[in-house]
Chains A and B, each alone.
Chain A
Amino acid sequence: MPDFVIIYRLGIKELWSLARDPVMLVLITYCFTMSIYVAATAVPDSLDKVPIAMVDEDASPLSARLAAAFYRPRFNAPAHISLAEMDAGMDAGDYSFVLDIPPDFQRDVLAGRSPAVQLNVDATRMTQAFVGSAYIQQIALGEVGDFVQRYRSSTPPLVDLNLRARYNPNLEQSWFGALSEIINNVTMLAIILTGAALIREREHGTIEHLLVMPVTPAEIMLAKVWAMGLVVVVAAGFGLLVVVQGVLRVPIAGSVRLFLAGTALHLFAATTLGIFMATLARSMPQFGMLAVLILLPLQMLSGTFSPRESMPEFVQIVMLAAPTTQFVDLGQAILFRGAGLAVVWPQFLALTGIGALLFGFSLARFCKTISELA
């Protein structure tokens, strides 16, 4: 039976140690201020100053009208190039899109011959190719339609599509960027803080001293878990309320308290994972390398970079066992879509299970390697 007074005392010691470690303090502060701000503001919208070019073989008022329809911020002013320059420009990656307007375009349009404009898309630019071509198509056809309108009337379509985005009506990247950054940084800090705390004890030889005292390994582990978890929860709360809501003015749909409760649960699993990794590494540099190899997959495959449903099926299934996946699910539901406990309870349950399993596993490993630690 662990002694809670001892766990409390040891945790307080962890907090003191952290308070006197300037490097870690800078890292925590950076993660929940600057880093969120940069993530929210630096990522441009997918169509932002898109480089576009035009091969104008018609040189008519209509083609000039088309060229004028592309302007900033979504598009750079179209470069006028010759047909011969098109391939070289696209090969070099200078243009993501090239519109080729055929000769006699305007005449054919007015004659009702429905001529075709060729849109060349650099499909290696995944972020722009798909959304951009739909957008360009809409603009170009709209311009042609308006142009024709002046000459004859046509009937509007009978069925309208009223398309609306929920939770982020204007699809602002900054909302997503800021909140995802918090979710990612919670995991990263939890692992690095706890792992580094254990490795520091080992490098300074203090773990050896602790182990000869009447203190059990479970107590040492739990003390680090609660102390580091508390620091990250407080920092994440600060980041959400002050930086995200206060400075960036991003609305949070759901309950911050519920999210922090979920965070606490996730931290139990993440800090435990940090301890586990610290038992594998023999020194700080090894721990750093291990962290790179483990953190990147945990974050990239958990759904904060791209939607999970577009990953291969086996990756999706394997990643269900990762605490980060559950946490990202839960975080996105609460923060973006305002979900309550009635909606996210399965993730809470899964996190509890994963955390308990990880803790048991890490404790066993910690006890086993103690003799090597000292």
Chain B
Amino acid sequence: MTPGPEHPGLVARLVNVGLHYGKTVALQGITLEIPAAKMVGLIGPDAVGKSSLLALLAGARAVQNGTVEVLDGDMTSRRHREQVCPHIAYMPQGLGKNLYATLSVEENLQFFGRLFGHPAAERRRRIDELCRSTGLTPFLARPAGKLSGGMKQKLGLCCALIHDPDFLILDEPTTGVDPLAREQFWDLIKHIRTQRTGMSVIVATSIMDEARNFDWLVAMNAGQVMATGSPHELLTQTHCLTLDAAFIALLPEAQQQGHREVTMPPLVVAANAPLAIEAEGLTMRFGNFVAVDHVSFRIRQGEIFGFLGSNGCGKSTTMKMLTGLLPASAGRAELFGQAVNPKDLATRRRVGYMSQSFSLYAELSVRQNLVLAARLYRVREADIPVRVAAMVKQFNLAGVLDVMPDNLPLGIRQRMSLAVAMVHQPELLILDEPTSGVDPIARDTLWQLLAELSRHQRVTIFISTHFMDEGARCDRISLMNDGKVLATGVPAELVRQRGLPTLEATFISYLKDAERLDQTTVPGTVAGAKASPGPLTGTTTRANILRPRRWFSWRRALSYSRREALELRHDPLRATMALLGSILLMCIMGYGISLDVENLKYAVLDHDQTGLSQNYALNLSGSRYFTERPPLADYAALDQRMRSGELALAIEIPPNFGRDLERGHRVEIAAWVDGSMPQRAETVQGNVQGMHQGWLVDMAIHRLGQQVVSPATIETRYRYNPDVLSLPAMVPSVIPILLLMIPAMLTALSVVREKELGSIINLYVTPVTRAEFLLGKQLPYIVLGMLNFGLMTLLAITLFGVPVKGSFAALAAGALLFVMFSTGFGLFTSTFTRSQIAALFLTIIATIIPAVQFSGLMNPVSSLAGTGAFIGRIYPATYLLTITRGVFNKALGFPGLHASFWPLVLAPPVVVGLAILLLKKQET
């Protein structure tokens, strides 16, 4: 490890760093020295390795090749990472990815404050300070998921700044945010930097224009650094005027090929051209939320019409109303002069649609996708090859026809998606953010194609985008914000009217107007947008944070517990599963796994019809096990009624039964049992035999006057459950299974959910340890498990009428130890699953099979052999089963059951320990 002072003025240093995910190379040969106390920009389109590089700097991802030094230390060293992580703040890509969507702003901030160990008063002070300066104060109670994009990013920034970092890492913080919020965000960063001059900031962005005012830039492409330097240096080096152009100029020759400036021939549309789309007062409400608010516009045939606005401003919703995907709450929309009607399939054939997610079937090849779309649009079968060939030529897809879309770069997928939307030669194209996440060259290529479609094939194009330069290329645009259209017109015209230099500045000025309007009508609500910069970090002393690290902090663990409990409360399905799942399943299993054989239907085929034969039949009908059905007439009826499953037992009494018996001849009664369910048949056989013997003895004594003395008798004592009923036996056995499956499943999901949603990043980059993280998450589920245990015991006593005969304390102690095991087992399975669905199935399989097959539920463990016996002996469910049966049925307490407690005491530390060891503190 190199000591610090060797590289003064650097915040981070990378030497020959490489990174790959499987076969995909993300970074290669990166050598970079990042200056300290500067605003550093990492520029380049999506998927060039910017995020990977930042994750390495933050310590969120493990270093594979090369050296990464941050804040004067090697990031491969765990000790160094632990030391510096309180000084680094990392905001990952994606709106609010490290936030918890169902938690309120306040709850999110409190959670992060606790993670860094601030006491309550300190947390309050910092949260108030940060919220005041970012304008979040009025929104403290609002769930993070319901904030606008710009607000989410501000909250993310607050969460990152709560511990006064020295090094701030921001990954695409402004993607998808409206220009005004973007401008405010950068103002905020600038303000913070004037307060804390020593702080280093590194920002990744794909919006090149943003990087104009940064101190120092790193241009990246295909996992490599192309150039570094100040913005001015990069511009002069490439002789370009804009950073976009400079970036393209920096690209290798091969990639530049085929690129040309987009040329948009002038629009030649007669003023009286018919309308393609007409919308009047279009409104969409979801509950209280107005997504689209009285939007009106007209699009003439042949025009390129653009919707410009941030994510979530209502662009997609408007487009969906026009396609008939969403029924409008109010207002009127017409396509080609006819009202939009979801049932009108003919109009749909005149429209092509391309959505944000590109909507391609990943399991179908490029060709299959094209053919399927053509067929669904009812292109004549004979024309399909011609159309597909035309699309392949126009959109340059010849080389990739038989490739699966997922294996293609984003740019090609986007062209293909456009081809799919065009395959049936629509007159109108509706394109919902077709260019998000695509590099500048691919974007220009797409626009070239759009120009051709519009100007040569006279296709009307309705497009939405959040890129200003794309807005400028449209014939006419609408500026949208918060579900409202702010202005509509020719882009150059709009800019001229406001007298501002660029479209972006024009948009911002419209946004500011809208805000003023809002403020006058609803005072206070939008105060958030107006930040009141105040002192951010005036009085905080470093010493607060630089306390020595402890191995385990209850404060951090409990902050995870508290958060988990809050989240569970907001998720109805998981909460239902957690509370009612076990009750529901207990009822089902209690009634469903009934081994009582009662009310079996039988019928008699009586060839004799004498008093004696009727007496035999009567003997059966008196039993609670049997219910008599109408007698059988002949063999055909016997056969038919047994086949249909109506009869479980048929008895045939031979002719002359009474006469022969009285004469002392041997007679034979035949009985057929339905053997299709072997378990039931065995019981039936036993019952019939018992009845038969009883009848014989009875007959011998009463009819024949014989004295029968058997050599010995058997006195059967059914212990613990004298009536041999299923319910008292099943109910206590079901409790361990349910205490195992549901808590394990929920705990596993709670960890894997964080992996899937991305908030696991907080484990990687904050001082929380693996033990704190896992134990903190486990705790609420132990409480839930015990709550379930209480409910199930109550249900057993009340609904099922199975009393607790033995020591309840022993039962509760056993259940507590077992729930600690089962939740721990969930943590354990979560360490090697990545998706929630996999975790769900894995936990079910790994809990149910051993619990049902090998834990003595059906067959005692002592009957098992080999692997089954081994699993039975080490699986804790075996021991809880002994305890529940012991307490419920056998009236036992601690003294009688102590042998079953030791394995239960041992199990939780073992599984939780394994889970802690296997959990990774960095992404690998």
Contacts and interface: CB of A to CB of B under 8 A. Distances in A.
Mutual binders A and B: yes
Interface of A: 6, 9-10, 13, 16-17, 19-21, 42, 44-46, 48-51, 76, 88, 90-96, 105, 109, 112, 114-131, 133-138, 140-141, 144-145, 147-148, 157-169, 171-173, 175-176, 204-206, 208-216, 281, 283-290, 292-293, 296-297, 300-301, 305-307, 309-312, 315, 329, 332-333, 336-339, 343-344, 370-371, 374
Given A17-B364, A129-B724, A300-B588, 14 more contacts: A13-B361, A49-B864, A112-B709, A124-B728, A124-B889, A136-B714, A160-B667, A163-B685, A286-B573, A288-B841, A289-B840, A306-B680, A307-B597, A310-B594
B626 to A, nearest CB: 11
A11 to B, nearest CB: 12
B594 A212 contact: no
Contacts of B714: 116-119, 136-137, 140-141
B688 interface: yes
A126 B729 contact: yes
B751 to A, nearest CB: 13
A288 B840 CA distance: 7
B622 interface: no
A135 to B, nearest CB: 8
B676 interface: yes
A76 B862 contact: yes
The 4 nearest A-B residue pairs measured at CB: A165-B675, A205-B357, A336-B676, A300-B592
B846 interface: no
B689 interface: yes
Contacts of B349: 214
Interface stretch (B50-58, B444-452, B641-649, B809-817): B641-649
A166 B674 contact: yes
Contacts of A339: 643-645
Interface string B358-375: 111111100010001101
A252 to B, nearest CB: 12
A257 to B, nearest CB: 17
Interface in B662-710: 664-683, 685-686, 688-690, 692, 696, 699, 709-710
Interface in B167-219: none
A9 to B, nearest CB: 5
Contacts of A300: 588-589, 592-593
B742 to A, nearest CB: 9
A164 B673 contact: yes
B711 A94 contact: no
A138 B716 CA distance: 12
Interface residues of B, number: 133
A285 B573 CA distance: 10
B581 interface: yes
B488 to A, nearest CB: 24
B712 A117 contact: yes
A129 B589 CA distance: 20
B716 A119 contact: yes
A335 to B, nearest CB: 8
A144 B709 CA distance: 13
B745 to A, nearest CB: 8
A173 B675 CA distance: 10
Interface stretch (B99-107, B322-330, B513-521): B322-330
Nearest to A9: B375
B324 A212 contact: yes
A10 B359 contact: no
Contacts of B362: 204
A141 B693 CA distance: 13
Contact of B863 (A49, A173, A285): A49
B837 interface: yes
A161 B689 contact: yes
B577 interface: yes
A137 B716 contact: yes
B726 interface: yes
A286 B683 CA distance: 41
A337 B642 contact: yes
Contacts of A301: 588, 591-592
Nearest to B345: A214
A329 B645 contact: yes
B822 to A, nearest CB: 16
Contact of B591 (A50, A51, A123, A315): A315
A157 to B, nearest CB: 6
Interface in B711-763: 711-722, 724, 726, 728-730, 732-733, 745, 749, 753
Contacts of B640: 343
A10 B362 CA distance: 15
